[in-house]
Structure 1
Amino acid sequence: MNEDMSFTNVKKINFQKRPLPIPADYRPLYKIAQILLVLKYCCRGGTSSLIRLHFFSWAMKSEDNKEKVLNIVYNKETKNFPIWRFEPALNRALSFAIAEGLVEQAKLNYRLTPKGEEFVVRIIMLTDLMTSEKSFINKVKKKVTETLIKDISRRWETK
């Protein structure tokens, strides 16, 4: 090895921490807040399957996705509904939410805890926070049922 390229002569190495922007969709706290809103306002008994949580996460990614969901909710148009994306960021956020005691796992479902209820009430009280998500959730409410999710996802097997 060339002596000039060896690290034996290196006296100091400097590292500079640079900000790395992370889109909100991938920030655990944002995803946790999204999960809590969905469990509180879109799920009976504050309980949901993982597939439905992924459905809502996908729905809130874009205005186009929201329109597709509103179309199945209000027009019952499920025939050509697209396959939605499953995100590792949601699974990570769920793990953090469980660790913090905001959500608990009950068999194959996830349920809002009393601590999670308190947290989601604070989110609702902040009127300038997650306005787009809150508006969408207010339109959908509890109309996206587990049965609807099963009906849509059952078509994946036939495609």
Structure 2
Amino acid sequence: MTEIDLANRRFSFRRRPVPVPGDLRIAWRVALIMAMLGSSRANRASLAKLHIINDAIRSGQQDKLKTILSGTHAAVPWNLRVEPAFARAVDFVVGEKLAIWTKATGRAALQLTKTGVDAAAAVMGVEDALVEERAAVAELAKLITETGVGALLGEKVRA
């Protein structure tokens, strides 16, 4: 058996591109937020509603959420997973003045600006991008009311 002399060998390293899944790119998240706000009533949605829709789309549980919202099953709290990357995309949307902070039913909410409305329309108008996501957002954003958000989060109804 021959012994390999590694001490006299040179090693070189080359940086290779690593593909990043679409849902980890900020452009994907910003486009999704624009679609969510553009599909919501008055181009406004609470941060909780945005997180719920984002979570349903990311986890592939849109159908489960639709079933819960349809009322055919007893309302159960949604096990919400809050993503730091989604929060950074929200900050980017606000920083780019596509949306402003406001309130919806006592919760922190985002509302599209004029520029944001145009951007949301552009996102929704692209036929071959975010096809599944846009379809889910268009349906879910209309189904989830702020009262429904409270029920999904397990909030008690105030008398």
More helix by share: 1
Q: Distance in 1 between matches of 2:74 and 2:134?
A: 23
**Measured at CA, do residues 148 and 30 of structure 1 come closer, stay the same or move farther in structure 2, by a change above 3 Å?**
same
Superposition pairs of residues 5-154 of structure 1, within 5 angstroms? 16-41=14-39, 43-63=40-60, 65-107=61-103, 108-154=108-154
- Write the letter of the residue equivalent to 1:93: A
Superposed displacement of residue 18, structure 1: 2.3
Superposed displacement of residue 137, structure 1: 2.5
Give ranges in structure 2 of 5+ residues lacking alignment: 1-11
Q: 1:68·1:81 contact (CA, 8 Å) conserved in 2?
A: no
Q: 2:29·2:89 contact (CA, 8 Å) conserved in 1?
A: yes
- What do you get for the CA RMSD once the two structures are aligned? 2.2
Count of paired positions: 142
Q: Distance in 2 between matches of 1:75 and 1:40?
A: 25
> Match of 1:77, SS?
coil
Q: 1:71·1:77 contact (CA, 8 Å) conserved in 2?
A: yes
Matching residue of 1:6: none
Q: Distance in 2 between matches of 1:57 and 1:29?
A: 14
- Write the letter of the residue equivalent to 1:52: K
- Write the letter of the residue equivalent to 2:23: D
TM-score of the aligned structures, taking structure 1 as reference length: 0.78
**Measured at CA, do residues 132 and 78 of structure 1 come closer, stay the same or move farther in structure 2, by a change above 3 Å?**
farther
Q: Distance in 2 between matches of 1:30 and 1:127?
A: 15
Comparing 112-121 and 17-26, the one that deviates more = 17-26
Superposed displacement of residue 139, structure 1: 2.9
